[in-house]
Amino acid sequence: MLIKKIMLIRPGVRFQRKRFSQPLGLLYLISVLRQNFPGRFEISLVDQALLNLNFEQVKNKIKDFNPDIVGFSCLSAESKEMSRISEIVKKLKPECITVLGGPHASVFYDQILEKSKIDFVVIGEGEITFTELIEKIQKNKPIDSVKGIAFKKNGKIILTKPREPIENLDSIPFPAWDLVDFKIYSKVTGMNVYYKAVPWSIIFTSRGCPFNCAYCHQIFGKKTRFRSPENVIAEIELLTEKYGIKEIHIIDDIFNLNLARAKRICDLIVEKKIKIKIAFPNALRGDIMDRELIRKLKQAGCYSITYAVETASPRIQKLINKNLDLDKVKQAIDWTFEEKINTHGFFMLGFPGEKKEEMEKTIKWACDSNLLIATFFSVVIYPRIPLMKIAQEAYPNFNFSQWERFDFKYWAEKSFYAKATGINLFKIQRNAFRRFYLNPRRIVFILLRLPKNLFLIRNGFWWFLRIISISLYKIEKKLFYQNTK
């Protein structure tokens, strides 16, 4: 098959709490395609939610570009949009080949092939797999020999041998940053919620996580692979010098897993006098943090660190295989706060079998901490991850066959937990936010430490007004009932 044009799409729609980041996986694919097939393909990149495109507009882009291959990368929350666009592709051009990669693909490859218009699913890391797949398609050779893919053949789903993780991450060329309009991303809400300097960019410095948290998809595997500090610094220099980037958001699973390497990256930034602001919106592991790294991060330009705590219940920590040492996490948060780095915390409410008292313990732990920002997520139960088995054991009479109807967004108001228990988890979340943020000391430090720019004012003021309005409504309601007695 003759392939001239490749379109890569990150599907998705905007919603109130949407967080944006550059489509790093697709940008890496493009750079690898350029390296392996120099000048051979015309490539188009479409970020649907960023551009706020409806399906008719996406259809027009596909029609105008007329691709031979359309590749998607998506999370499960974006799978409906992916499926809809794949149908559009096939209606416009039935012979166009469709390929899906990303976290959703790696977990639900068989259902994707059964229910959407996807020809091939790439499982796990896609750089080598996608390149080999294109090469086989071009030469009309059997696809079965390509590792790490799933496809249908004679009505039967074929799953090839697993693809080995890429050991030498330095061998992967830097993402195709030339295709990114950083100015647009600087106008939307990123993973870190706010910025200290724009334009900004996300960056990966490692892949994989050795821990066994029951809620994780583990797309990058259990073995952590690291880019060398020199390779990381080379990309940061490229971003700052060529593209004018002033802030980076490091989104590794656990950046501080190798403390010596993390410190070396900080030292190189200082030695090379790179002027950059640094944030960690994807969370570090608090119980392996040390104060020296926090100080070095501060010297390198770090202003924001997120810690993934999830729960303050020792029982739930053990149940979900997170196994955090909560005392050490609290110490890391205190150190970070003392170094005047903004402290963020992630918490999850509504684990299978979790009691109200355990959620209360988590909320109180957050409120009593030196965190400036806290996010209380509702637990999402995905099939084919360990948390599903835990949920089935906790609720043996619940109809898990209806999982597809669940809302896969982190902010689901009608969560799995609420459906299984009848407990209003949304109300618990709402009260958690109210208690956390309506703390005079915390309000003072938020006003003192968070950057004073229009973006933060616009987003933060909206949240503050919402919390205040909820609280005033509750007070007014209480007074009303007292006065009518």
Domain tally for the chain? Answer: 3
**169 falls within a domain:** no
For residues 101 and 198, membership in a common domain is answered with: no
Q: Which residues contact 288 (CB under 8 A, 6 or more apart)?
A: 254, 256, 257, 259, 328
331: its two tokens:
């110490």
Give bridge partners of residue 279 from the DSSP assignment. Answer: 249, 304
| CATH code, 24 | 3.40.50.2300
Prediction pTM value: 0.90
194: its two tokens:
């706010």
**67 falls within a domain:** yes
| CATH code, 338 | 3.80.30.20
pLDDT at 456: 61
For residues 204 and 346, membership in a common domain is answered with: yes
Q: Are 123 and 162 in contact (CB under 8 A)?
A: yes
For residues 284 and 365, membership in a common domain is answered with: yes
Positions in the chain whose pLDDT score sits under 70: 402-414, 453-485
For residues 343 and 429, membership in a common domain is answered with: yes
159: its two tokens:
């799953």
Residue 26 lies in domain: 5-159
pLDDT at 193: 86
Radius of gyration of the chain (CA): 23
How many Cβ atoms sit within 10 Å of the Cβ of residue 52? 11
**300 falls within a domain:** yes
For residues 230 and 328, membership in a common domain is answered with: yes
For residues 423 and 381, what is the distance between their CA atoms, to the nearest angstrom?
16
For residues 112 and 134, membership in a common domain is answered with: yes
For residues 409 and 325, membership in a common domain is answered with: yes
Could you give the 3-state DSSP secondary structure of residue 230? helix
Domain boundary among 159, 194, 210: 159
The strand pair at 120-122 and 149-153 is best described as antiparallel
**93 falls within a domain:** yes
How many DSSP H helices and E strands does the chain contain? 18, 15
For residues 61 and 207, membership in a common domain is answered with: no
**Closest among 409, 412, 347, 411 to 373, alpha carbons compared:** 347
For residues 155 and 191, membership in a common domain is answered with: no
pLDDT tens per residue across span 234-250: 999 999 999 999 999 99
Distance of CA 404 to the CA centre of its chain: 21
